[in-house]
Chains A and B, each alone.
Chain A
Amino acid sequence: MAGRDFDKDVYPEPPRRTPADNKQTGLPNPALIASKLFYYSVDLPVTKFRECIDSIQSGKKSVYYHQRFRRVPDLTECEEGNYVCYYEAEMQWRRDYKVDQEIVRVLQERIRACQQREGASAPQNCSKEVQDYDNATKAYMSRYGDLGAYASGRKCLMKQKERMINAQKA
C-alpha cells in the first residue's frame, strides 16, 4: 500500500552500497538517459506539485493516533455460558488476527525492499529477511491456516486443540 505511515526510525532503510561507476565504453549509458528522462518528465513535476500542496496546507496539520485496546480474558478463561465474555474474547481475537495479517504484510514489504535494493545479489544478501518471512508464514499458517472466511476464535481454538493432539501423538 502506498504512503503507509510508519516510524522511519523503527524501520530504517539500510545505507546505500552502490559501487562507483566503472565505464569502459564511450557510448552514452541508456539507463542513465532513461532515468534522467523519467526524472524530468515524472518525478520533478510530481515533487513540485506535492511541495506546492504542502505549502498551502502548512500549519494546519491535525494528528491521528494509533489505538491501543485493553486485553480482556481469552476464550479459554471465560466461564461456560457467559456469552458477553465470549463476545469480548471474539472481538479481541479478530483484532489479533488483523494485527498478524499486517505483520506478515510488513515482512513481505521488507523482502520486496531488500530485493529492490540488492538487485542481482538479492539471493545472497536477503537471506535474513527471507528467513524471518518463512518463520512468520509458517507460524501464521499453523495458527490461522485453513480457517476460511468465517473464521472465529472458537474455530482457531479447536484448530489449536487438534495441533496439540497431533503433537502429543507424534
Chain B
Amino acid sequence: MVGMSVVRSAAAFAARLNPLKYGNNVSRLLTRTIPKTEQVAVRWGHGKELFVVKPSSYYDNRFLRLLKYYLLLTGIPVAAIITYVNVFIGEAELAEIPEGYEPEYWEYYKHPITRFISRNIYDTPVKDYEKMMAAVQIEQEKAEHRLANLEVRRQMRQRGDGPWYQKQAVDKSFIDHSPKASPDN
C-alpha cells in the first residue's frame, strides 16, 4: 500500500515535470518563479478563491430538506389544531351526574379531542362490550354443541336405536328359504 502511494506520487511528479509538456523547458525549469497564491487576485481581501476538495454534501442536504418538509407538512397543521383546541375550547370540568340524567358515552372524557374521537369515530363501549359477549356466547354454544354431538354419537353407537350407525341390510324377500324346507337334506 505504501509502495503503491510512492509509485503513484512518483508518477504524478513525473507527469508534472514531463519535458514534453509546454512550459517545461530545461532553460525555464531552474529559473521560473512559481506565482504566490496571495498575489493572484486583485484587492478583494481574503485571498484566492480555492476549490476545497471534499465529498458531496448534496445527498445529505437533500435528505434533511425532505425530512423537514415531510415532517412539517402534517406537523404544522396538527400543532395548529391542537393549540387552537387547547387555547380556545379547553378541557372539561368534573361534575356530579345530575339526577335522572344518563350521560352520553363521550361525556366521560376530559379532553375535547378525546371526546370528539369517542363521539365520531369510535363505537360506544357498551356496544363493544355487547359484541364481545355475543362472540363469547356463540363460541360457548359451538363448544356445547360439539360435546353434545360426541355424546349422541357414543349413545347411538352403543344402543343402536337411533338413526345413526345403521347399516342397510338386504331385503328379507331375497332370502332363499328352499334349503331350509327339508331338515335332513
Residues of A within 8 A of B (CB): 5, 53, 56-57, 60-68, 81-84, 86-88, 91
Contact = CB atoms under 8 A, between A and B. Distances in A.
Interface of B: 87-90, 92-97, 103, 107-110, 112, 115, 129, 132-133, 136-137, 139-140, 144
Given A53-B87, A63-B107, A87 B133 contact: yes
A51 to B, nearest CB: 13
A88 B94 contact: no
B136 A64 contact: no
B103 A91 contact: no
Contacts, number: 65
A56 B132 contact: no
B90 A57 contact: yes
24 contacts: A53-B87, A53-B90, A57-B89, A60-B89, A61-B92, A62-B115, A63-B92, A63-B93, A63-B94, A63-B107, A64-B93, A64-B94, A64-B95, A65-B94, A65-B95, A65-B96, A65-B103, A66-B94, A66-B97, A67-B103, A82-B140, A84-B136, A84-B137, A84-B140
B82 to A, nearest CB: 14
B89 to A, nearest CB: 7
B88 A56 contact: yes
B89 A65 contact: no
A63 B110 CA distance: 8
A112 B112 CA distance: 31
A53 B103 CA distance: 28
B108 A67 contact: yes
A81 B142 CA distance: 12
Given A83-B137, A83-B139, A88-B133, A64 B109 contact: yes
A64 B106 CA distance: 8
Contacts of B92: 61-64
Given A53-B87, A62-B112, A5 B133 contact: no
A86 B136 CA distance: 10
Contacts of A86: 136
A94 to B, nearest CB: 12
Nearest to B140: A83
Contacts of A57: 87-90
Contacts of B139: 83
Given A57-B88, A64-B107, A87 B93 contact: no
A61 B95 CA distance: 11
Contacts of A68: 97
Contacts of A82: 140
B125 to A, nearest CB: 9
B140 A60 contact: no
A75 to B, nearest CB: 14
